[in-house]
Amino acid sequence: MSRAPQELGPDALSFLAERQLATLTTLRPDGSPHVVPVGFTYDPEAGTARVITSGMSAKAQHVRAGAVRVALCQVDGRRWLTLEGTATLREDAGSVAEAELRYAGRYRQPRENPARVVLEISVDHVLGNIGTA
């Protein structure tokens, strides 16, 4: 399956709401991939994925430095979806609070972190297979 985010069906949206982790791939200044496990949320109406992190994390630094193309991949057995898009670093209190609220709804209340930022990913391409695990 390869499609635009607005074409995701109920099975894909249900998979993206499960309590799963994903990997986030950003690019280092030398172009090599930096892949880390993350919790994330997906807003299908906006086509936006959100990852909360510390502003000093490598992933935040990569986006801050202009490496804005990212890939977020959730895997469970044979089921997987990769959300590709453009990341924007949000540091304002409103964006952070909204992302924390969404994160708490999917996972748990995040720990206190005054340096928290949000990577908002405008998803423009989805790859995957959500058939039976």
Q: What is the pLDDT of residues 49-63, one digit of tens each?
A: 999 999 999 999 999
> Is the pLDDT at 123 greater than 60, yes or no?
yes
Which residues does 4 contact at the CB level (< 8 Å), separation at least 6? 124, 125, 126
Query: Nearest to residue 65, comparing CAs of 43, 34, 103?
Result: 34
Label the pairing between strands 79-90 and 2-3.
unpaired
pLDDT band at 133; cut points 50, 70, 90:
very low
pLDDT at position 39 is 97
Q: 2-129 domain in CATH 2.30.110.10?
A: yes
Integer Cα distance of 21 and 4 in angstroms: 22
Q: Looking at the chain, how many residues does it have?
A: 133
Rounded mean pLDDT of the chain? 93
Compute the average pLDDT of residues 76-95.
Answer: 96
The half-sphere exposure of 23 on its side-chain side, counting CA atoms within 13 A, is 11
User: What are the domain boundaries of the chain?
Assistant: 2-129
Compute the average pLDDT of residues 66-70.
Answer: 90
Compute the average pLDDT of residues 107-131.
Answer: 94
pLDDT at position 118 is 98
pLDDT band at 132; cut points 50, 70, 90:
low
Compute the average pLDDT of residues 17-42.
Answer: 96
